[in-house]
Amino acid sequence: MSTSPPPVSVQLYSLREESADDFDAVLSKVALTGYKGVEPFNLFGKTPREFRNQVETLGMQISSSHFPWVNRSDSISQVVDVIREFGLTRAAGGFAPADFADYDSLQQTIETTQRMVDDLKPHGITLFLHNHYWEYNKINGRTAYHYLQDAVPDVEFQIDTYWAANFGNNDAAEEIRRVRERTPLLHVKDGPLREGEANVAVGDGAMDVPALFDAVDPDVFEWAVVEFDKCDTDMMTAVAKSYSYLKNNNLVSGNV
């Protein structure tokens, strides 16, 4: 059983505006902050190999990737090639609100998820799903995501903890605990838990952050990934402040 804190990564979507201006500078700043990993969503003109080489030269790893998403890619071979180039064994997927709108759309989503799992399996790659809040709405009185979790036992999860809280309507830690043996990744974010309001640095909002880490299975959990959808303060400052909070509270391990 692992007793050391998990390594911390950052989802580079958080720094999308800064990356569009100077991606190299963003990667350097993330490394200097102390993050052990990055999770890309866009390579900003770099090839997968160039990106990986740069990340590793900076002393970091690619923790996981949201590029390319399996159900947004033109072909499974593209997904396999990129994931292998990154040195990973998991590929990401996720769904839109319409995919969880009612029971019929949910059944189609379940079938799609199983098909993606089956398509990746011969290549030695597993599928992980990333959620937003709509997966936690109710269908016929039951949480929509629970249907899918039970129906597709081979899919893994990157629980986005803020969205899993569903604006305070859910206990995010309980949602992690429900699939803890299939949750190697978390998106760790914080905020006021009020719809339409921006995220804040981890530790500054309404989330019970330590409870999230208590809920994971330490033998399965691999990476805590900080992310912001939007933030009213400077994004790089929020990324750095989140790192300090997580590291100082011994919730994660970093490079500095």
- Residue by residue, pLDDT tens for the chain (256 residues) are 457 999 999 999 999 999 999 999 999 999 999 999 999 999 999 999 999 999 999 999 999 999 999 998 889 999 999 999 999 999 999 999 999 999 999 999 999 999 999 999 999 999 999 999 999 999 999 999 999 999 999 999 999 999 999 999 999 999 999 999 999 999 999 999 999 999 999 999 999 999 999 999 999 999 999 999 999 999 999 999 999 999 999 999 999 9
Q: Tokens at residue 163, please? A: 């969205």
pTM equals: 0.97
- Answer whether residue 220 is part of any domain: yes
- Answer whether residue 253 is part of any domain: no
Give the CATH number for residue 223. Answer: 3.20.20.150
Give the whole-angstrom CA distance, residue 27 versus residue 51: 10
Angle (deg, nearest 10), helices 103-120 and 144-151: 40
- Answer whether residue 14 is part of any domain: yes
AA identity, residue 107: Q
- Answer whether residue 256 is part of any domain: no
- Answer whether residue 130 is part of any domain: yes
Of 254, 247, 233, the closest CA to residue 14 belongs to: 233
**Residue 180 domain boundaries:** 8-248
Give the whole-angstrom CA distance, residue 162 versus residue 172: 7
- Answer whether residue 1 is part of any domain: no
- List Cβ neighbours of 38 (8 Å cut-off, separation of 6 or more): 9, 10, 12, 27, 30, 55, 60, 61, 62, 63
- Answer whether residue 228 is part of any domain: yes
Provide the pairing of β-strand 138-139 with 142-143: antiparallel
- Answer whether residue 73 is part of any domain: yes
Domain count, the chain: 1
